[in-house]
Structure 1
């Protein structure tokens, strides 16, 4: 993995988790928020934690904002600040800007400003949860974009004891099997509650046999995955 320099502006509940995950993955993370208490709470989990007003272009430049690989505007409740911040980032030479939006109007305004890498974590989470409830056997889903997803599904009965080659999901549904999670028993566990674990089988081969209770991790477009799940 190539280490990136990433600035995250707006350290709310989403921002706190986001910067920690980025830092744990080895990236250089600059956390920016106007609240010193918030910055103090996150300083041990990022590379640099700075208290400043994101609407102050000079303050942003003082942190070398123009040198970051990515800038992420994660502000949730202050859209006016998001707009001013986005404009300041563009003027500072940041080429890759990701911005959070909450409404369709906010999305359109950001697009008019030339910000096209937009995200709405609440919308994605709600959609993933709705899909989990909507399809039998669905364990979880993760939206990679508006078009593509990764989903975890308990192997359908029609494929139990068949090989991946026999199931032929790639040609029938245009979806790929990424891996398989297979429930197994940890014989070394001292507690019964910890004895059941899911073993990741790695990249499966065509001759891998699908067993009852296997969890199949699939990648494909929303349309193709829906066709598979509805069959």
Structure 2
């Protein structure tokens, strides 16, 4: 993994988790929020934590904002600040700007400002949960875009004891098997709760046999995955 320099502006509930995950993954993370109390609470979980007004172009420049690989505007409740911040980031020369939106109107406004990478974490979480409830066997769903997603599905009964080549999901449904999660039992564990886990099989081959209780991780378009789940 290539280490990136990422600035996250707006450390709310989403932003706090986001910067922590980025930092744990080894990235250089600059956390920015106007509230000193929030910044103090996150300082040990990021590379740099700074309290400043994200609408102040000079303040952003002082933190080397022009040198970041990505800037993420994660503000949730102050859309006016998001707009001004987006404009300031563009003036500072930041090339890759991701911005959070909450309504279709906000999305349109950001698009008019030239911000192409937009996200709505609440919408994605809601859609993923709805899909999990809608299809039996689905363990989780991660939306990569409005058109494509990665899903985890317990192997359907019709594919148990068949190889990936025999299942032929690539040609039948135009979806790819990324990997397989296989349940394992650790007999040396003293507690029953610690004895069960999962093993990632890596990149599977065509002769990999699908077993009962295996979880297949699939990538494809929303429509193709839905077609597979409904068949």
TM-score, length-scaled by structure 1: 0.98
Structure 2 gap ranges (5+): none
Partner residue, 1:207: 207
Report the 3-state secondary structure (helix = DSSP H, G, I; strand = E; otherwise coil) of the residue aligned with 1:55.
coil
Report the 3-state secondary structure (helix = DSSP H, G, I; strand = E; otherwise coil) of the residue aligned with 1:21.
helix
1:165-176 map, 5 Å: 165-176=165-176
Q: Hey, what's the Cα distance between the residues in 1 that align with 2:209 and 2:179? A: 12
Q: Hey, what's the Cα distance between the residues in 2 that align with 1:26 and 1:229? A: 36
Report the 3-state secondary structure (helix = DSSP H, G, I; strand = E; otherwise coil) of the residue aligned with 2:93.
coil
Q: Hey, what's the Cα distance between the residues in 2 that align with 1:107 and 1:149? A: 21
Partner residue, 1:54: 54
Q: CA deviation at 1:62?
A: 1.1
Q: CA deviation at 1:182?
A: 1.1
How many aligned positions are there?
231
Partner residue, 2:138: 138
Deviations 1:170-201 (A, max 9, x none): 00001111111111211111011211111111
Q: Hey, what's the Cα distance between the residues in 2 that align with 1:192 and 1:2? A: 39
Q: Hey, what's the Cα distance between the residues in 1 that align with 2:157 and 2:143? A: 25
Q: Hey, what's the Cα distance between the residues in 1 that align with 2:159 and 2:19? A: 40
Q: Hey, what's the Cα distance between the residues in 1 that align with 2:31 and 2:49? A: 5
Partner residue, 1:21: 21
Structure 1 gap ranges (5+): none
Please list every run of at least 4 consecutive aligned residues from structure 1 whose deviation after the TM superposition is greater than 2 angstroms. Answer: none
1:216-231 map, 5 Å: 216-231=216-231
Partner residue, 1:181: 181
Partner residue, 2:106: 106
Deviations 1:32-62 (A, max 9, x none): 0000000000111111111001111111111
Q: Hey, what's the Cα distance between the residues in 2 that align with 1:97 and 1:140? A: 28
TM-score, length-scaled by structure 2: 0.98
Report the 3-state secondary structure (helix = DSSP H, G, I; strand = E; otherwise coil) of the residue aligned with 2:223.
helix
Q: Hey, what's the Cα distance between the residues in 2 that align with 1:194 and 1:6? A: 36
Q: CA RMSD in A?
A: 0.7
